[in-house]
């Protein structure tokens, strides 16, 4: 980033300057910050770590104190994120402007993009909107629509007929629109069910590296506006993902599932086919969901249950080996009693 | 699809025409169907949903009734799949015919393919059969064999010496033939065990997007004829997958495993190395298999057990917190009894 | 491999020749070995399988006997691995020497590589060291550093500013340096936290096909020297992986985790964010780690516990349905007793 004075930054993030109005040349996390850097502390428990940091200044939360130059503000992490924007590389360096002469663009494609990287392939009837940037080796099939101000990184594939809205980000290696896993048993083995639908990725969606979204059998597989999808995620055919969801890495959503709006999922979650997940549902990492989940629920485990129940069960499981011993002891007491009864009987006889 | 009359379709799928011989212009699932579309209902429970559909006609199973034009047939879903074929795009649009002038083909490669996309790279000594179509950016190493009528989508990599049979489909981003995870501890750290084997993908195999099949240490990693592999699957070195298996997304098979014929696996399954899975085994999603599975078994869970046992256990687990309370009550009763016994003893003394 | 005499091989691997000094033309595992091949047996239990092998000679462990030509040595598998090196293809066939004329190399990039494949793209300010080989379609962003004697296979992406040491191997489809999964909730939905850090891959690291390493928010995501990473692994932003670790396929490490040196992980492991794993920790396959693990520990399960505890629990779980019956029986006895007490009481009254 270019040099800024701390007061300038305080004004920018709406915070209160504490101490000297020093000059700032970068922004970095507590562990990485050096001289000239602005860092942040959003939990008082991190203040001791700040004491040993070389950072020149710090963004602090309400009520925190330090003897180095600081900006106190409502949400230091958000303020820090704002400052990071000044450290981003010039997009023209990452995506050199213009259509690279090696790009193979179909005669009837309409490409208004800001940048088309070397060796991109753009199919017949495909449209790419203004401000969109394509990295190297991006392959857009025929009849694809890419909106405005999108970023598609290297080696991305978008298959025929699929549509992306505006400001969509596809990280490297993303694959949109392959045929889903649909087969019927036939006399000669499994027979492909034709997948004639497509995929719709709505505005402001971001999809992580090497993730895959299958095309619908008919109609659309949909990822709703504002949803963020992490790396190596698999979304099956006919799935409808709602708006503003956040799905963490390596999760898989089987065919024909429906996710509501604002769903959040930890990593490595799996959802069986045809399941409906309500609005605002939270799913713990590694969960396996086999049936519908009501809006607002928080679920966890395999099979996924209410998170409190799963915690109760996993807590109880740790006591299970001991429980086996305790029950055996009770049975022994019973047996001894039986034995005593018998002894009594014998004594009586 | 082109316009067809319903009677024509009835003849094609071997079904019985009910009602008017209307004109059909497309095929779509119940949720997607509009005017002109043929849809299908394979469960009576979906008939209410049909009532509100805009579909012009419907494929119905035996014994079902509707007042709209319909075809009654043995298997409506299979008949529907047949109709979807008419809606597939012309393959010449997806894979333009001919060898694109930008393809880099080794002088001694033998390429009879129907389509080689822009920027494909075909190595020395490699053979590509008739009717095969390669998308953009496909990279075939040296000494690779690709059979006839295959489809390899964009960004596929097939490494040196690997072989594909006929009618093989590799979705975008598939990687065939990388070195597996084989190392030996040495004085300077882990040392690579050379992987000099290759991979054989037999006829009619389909492999999903971004899946990986590692080359064998020596000999072959094999995927048997007719087997279907979903997206993001990992198959380790020396694995032998049988014929007509169906492996769902994000599953991983460790090195030197053997799968029989007709094995089906849910998603996110993991199999430890050197395990043998018998013919016809069914594996539930998210299972972790640590030892051999007998032919015909259905297993589930981590570790994978007979599915009925796993269901019994997971059912019982939900009762575990309560069980802890119940055992504590029994122990309390014992203690009370002990106490009473002691009281008795004291009273007696 | 070229023809070698068995005595020559015995000298090479430091073993003892037993029987005839036959001619060897290849090396193969027990199941794959044919006439002319040298194979190996490292467990006496495999000797019966050797009896039916067509191998011309065998590497045997101490104390083992056979009537075919053999070399007895301390570690037959290590000796075999050494012999496999002679069967590796000429690297010039896999990576043809020189910079392919189709490579797009920025004017100010410094490329000393031994091989740059067709359609590689090398960004501005990027450096590639001597002896390094790049397969087809490798995309190096601007300001990337690749050391000497690396191998980057087809379709690899390395994003702007990331650095690789010497002798790094990136298998096909690897993605280094994408933005991690960092967002903050804002008024219009999730807002991207800029990720201005990069990735450092140290010397002798190998990364499997389609694996992804995210760039740091600030500073570095690090993979330590000598670490081996299998296929389809996801490593989040700001993660520090130590030296000489071995991470098996499909595992995921969430943001800001720290792994010590010599950590080994089975497949499909997940680690929650901000977790610290000590040196030498072993993690069983499919584990889910939610909190720090002490150096030297062996953990397994979801949530991951000491492996012995998890085995005790999973063993006990199989007895759980029976335990429910046993406790019900005990309760019934109590109830009968209560009943008897009541009867007694009534009898007394």
Q: Which chain A residues are Cβ-neighbours of C284 within 8 angstroms?
A: none
Give residue limits of the domains in chain C: 4-87, 96-308, 319-349
**C-beta separation of B19 from B55 below 8 A:** no
Q: How far is CA A88 from CA A175, A215, C158, C236, in A?
A: 26, 34, 17, 19
Q: Is B209's CB within 8 Å of A175's CB?
A: yes
| pLDDT over 90 (residue A230) | yes
**C-beta separation of B274 from B292 below 8 A:** no
Q: Is C212's CB within 8 Å of A226's CB?
A: no
Place of tokens 């305080």: A10
**Residue C43 and residue A342: Cα distance in Å, rounded?**
57
Instruction: Give the count of Cβ contacts less than 8 A between chain A and C.
Output: 188
**Residue A194 and residue A217: Cα distance in Å, rounded?**
7
**C-beta separation of C181 from C256 below 8 A:** no
Mean pLDDT calculated for residue range A67-82: 95
d(CA C199, nearest CA chain A) in Å: 13
**C-beta separation of C184 from A78 below 8 A:** yes
Nearest to B19 by CA among B67, B81, B61: B67
Q: What is the per-residue pLDDT across B225-255, written as a single tens digit (0 to 9) for each?
A: 999 999 999 999 999 999 999 999 999 999 9
d(CA B213, nearest CA chain C) in Å: 9
Put simply, the chain A residues between 327 and 346 with a CB less than 8 A from any chain C CB are 327, 330-331, 334
b/e code C211-234 from CB counts within 10 Å (16+ = b): bbbbbbbbbbbbbbbbbbbbbbbb
Per-residue model confidence (pLDDT) at position B215: 98
| pLDDT over 50 (residue B348) | no
Q: Is A161's CB within 8 Å of B89's CB?
A: yes
Whether C100 is a known active-site residue: answer: no
Q: Show which residues of A are catalytic.
A: 237
Three-class DSSP category at A21: coil
Nearest CA in chain A to B334: A330
* CATH 3.40.47.40 applies to domain A4-87: no
**Which of the four pLDDT bands, split at 50, 70 and 90, describes residue A348?**
very low
Other Cβ atoms less than 10 A from the Cβ of B343: the count is 11
Quick one: angle between helices B320-348 and A320-348, nearest 10? 40
Put simply, the chain C residues between 158 and 187 with a CB less than 8 A from any chain B CB are 171-173
Instruction: Please compute Rg for chain B using Cα positions.
Output: 29
**C-beta separation of B229 from B247 below 8 A:** yes
**C-beta separation of B250 from B235 below 8 A:** no
Per-residue model confidence (pLDDT) at position A157: 98
Class of domain B96-308: mainly beta
**φ and ψ at A260, to 5 degrees?**
-75, -165
B192, B217, B305 member nearest C29 (Cβ) = B217
Per-residue model confidence (pLDDT) at position B334: 77
Bridge partners for B346 per DSSP? none
Characterize the bridge pairing of strands A16-18 and A70-72.
Answer: antiparallel
d(CA B194, nearest CA chain A) in Å: 27
Q: Is B27's CB within 8 Å of A196's CB?
A: yes
Q: Is B302's CB within 8 Å of C286's CB?
A: yes
Nearest CA in chain A to B26: A218
**Residue A137 and residue A153: Cα distance in Å, rounded?**
9
| pLDDT over 90 (residue B32) | no
Structure tokens of A239?
A: 């799935």
Chain mean pLDDT for chain A: 94
Q: Is A305 on the interface with C (CB under 8 A)?
A: no
| pLDDT over 90 (residue B339) | no
Per-residue model confidence (pLDDT) at position A349: 39
**Residue A12 and residue B109: Cα distance in Å, rounded?**
62
- Asked which of A115-119, B174-178, B209-213, B319-323 is least confident by mean pLDDT, the reply is B319-323
**Residue C161 and residue A94: Cα distance in Å, rounded?**
10
Q: What is the per-residue pLDDT across A51-72, written as a single tens digit (0 to 9) for each?
A: 999 999 999 999 999 999 999 9
Nearest CA in chain B to C34: B219
A94, A232, A324 member nearest C319 (Cβ) = A324
Q: Is C28's CB within 8 Å of B219's CB?
A: yes
| pLDDT over 90 (residue A223) | yes
Q: Is A137's CB within 8 Å of C137's CB?
A: yes
| pLDDT over 50 (residue B299) | yes
Q: What is the per-residue pLDDT across C46-55, written as a single tens digit (0 to 9) for each?
A: 999 999 999 9
C87, C286, C314 member nearest B194 (Cβ) = C87
Q: Is A318's CB within 8 Å of C305's CB?
A: yes
Bridge partners for B271 per DSSP? B253, B289
Question: A325 Cβ partners below 8 Å, 6+ apart?
Answer: none
B123, B137, B178 member nearest C171 (Cβ) = B178
| Dihedral over Cα of B21, B27, B29, B31: its sign | negative
Mutate to test the interface with A, among C190, C289, C290 (most CBs of A within 10 A): C190
**Which of the four pLDDT bands, split at 50, 70 and 90, describes residue C348?**
very low
Put simply, the chain C residues between 11 and 30 with a CB less than 8 A from any chain A CB are none
Q: Which chain A residues are Cβ-neighbours of C188 within 8 angstroms?
A: 226
**Which of the four pLDDT bands, split at 50, 70 and 90, describes residue A347?**
very low
b/e code B47-81 from CB counts within 10 Å (16+ = b): eeebeebebbbbbbbeebebebbbbbbebbbbbbb
pTM for the complete prediction? 0.94
Mean pLDDT calculated for residue range C200-208: 98
Q: Which chain A residues are Cβ-neighbours of B330 within 8 angstroms?
A: 330
| pLDDT over 70 (residue C347) | no
Q: Is C248's CB within 8 Å of B155's CB?
A: no
A219, A305, A317 member nearest B32 (Cβ) = A219
Share of chain C above pLDDT 90, in %: 91
Mean pLDDT calculated for residue range C81-105: 95
**Residue A50 and residue A45: Cα distance in Å, rounded?**
10
d(CA A103, nearest CA chain B) in Å: 10
Chain mean pLDDT for chain B: 94
Question: B99 Cβ partners below 8 Å, 6+ apart?
Answer: B105, B111, B113, B115, B116
Per-residue model confidence (pLDDT) at position C2: 80
Q: Which chain B residues are Cβ-neighbours of C208 within 8 angstroms?
A: 178, 181, 212
Mean pLDDT calculated for residue range C225-247: 98
**Which of the four pLDDT bands, split at 50, 70 and 90, describes residue B65?**
very high
Q: What is the per-residue pLDDT across A172-208, written as a single tens digit (0 to 9) for each?
A: 999 999 999 999 998 889 999 999 999 999 999 999 9
B89, B155, B230 member nearest A181 (Cβ) = B230
**Which of the four pLDDT bands, split at 50, 70 and 90, describes residue C335?**
confident
Mean pLDDT calculated for residue range B92-113: 97
d(CA C106, nearest CA chain B) in Å: 19
Bond into A57 cis (ω within 30)? no
**C-beta separation of B225 from B202 below 8 A:** yes
Structure tokens of C338?
A: 């209560």
C31, C268, C334 member nearest B270 (Cβ) = C268
**C-beta separation of C119 from B121 below 8 A:** yes
Q: Is A85 on the interface with C (CB under 8 A)?
A: yes
Q: Which chain A residues are Cβ-neighbours of B32 within 8 angstroms?
A: 197, 216, 218-220
């Amino acid at each position: 980033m270019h040099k800024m004075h701390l007061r300038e930054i305080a004004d920018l993030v709406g915070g209160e300057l504490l101490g000297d109005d020093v000059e700032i040349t970068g922004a970095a996390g507590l562990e990485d910050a050096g001289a000239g850097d602005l860092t942040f502390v959003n939990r008082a428990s991190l203040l001791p770590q700040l004491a040993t940091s070389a950072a020149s200044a710090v963004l602090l939360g309400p009520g925190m104190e330090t003897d180095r130059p600081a900006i106190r503000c409502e949400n230091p992490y958000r303020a820090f994120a704002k400052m990071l924007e000044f450290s981003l590389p010039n997009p023209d360096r990452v995506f050199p402007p213009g259509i690279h002469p090696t790009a193979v663009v179909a005669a009837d494609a309409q490409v208004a993009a800001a940048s088309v990287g070397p060796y991109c392939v753009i199919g017949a009837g495909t449209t790419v909107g203004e401000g969109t940037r394509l990295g190297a080796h991006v392959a857009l099939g025929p009849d694809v629509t890419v909106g405005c101000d999108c970023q598609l990184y290297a080696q991305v594939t978008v298959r025929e007929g699929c549509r992306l809205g505006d400001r969509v980000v596809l990280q490297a290696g993303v694959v949109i629109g392959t045929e889903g896993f649909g087969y019927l048993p036939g006399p000669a083995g499994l027979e492909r069910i034709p997948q004639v639908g497509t995929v719709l990725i709505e505005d402001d969606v971001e999809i992580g590296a090497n993730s895959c979204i299958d095309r619908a059998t008919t109609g659309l597989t949909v990822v709703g506006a504002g949803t963020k999808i992490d790396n190596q995620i698999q979304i099956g055919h006919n799935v409808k993902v709602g708006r503003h969801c956040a799905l963490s890495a390596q999760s898989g959503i089987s065919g024909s599932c429906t996710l509501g709006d604002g769903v959040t999922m930890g990593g490595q979650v799996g959802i069986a086919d045809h399941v409906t997940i309500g609005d605002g549902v939270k799913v713990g990492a590694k969960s396996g969901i086999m049936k519908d989940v009501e809006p607002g629920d928080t679920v966890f485990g395999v099979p996924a249950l209410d998170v409190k129940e799963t915690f109760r069960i996993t807590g109880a499981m740790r006591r299970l080996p001991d429980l086996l011993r305790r029950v055996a002891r009770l049975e022994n007491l019973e047996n001894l009693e039986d034995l005593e009864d018998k002894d009594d009987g014998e004594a009586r006889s």
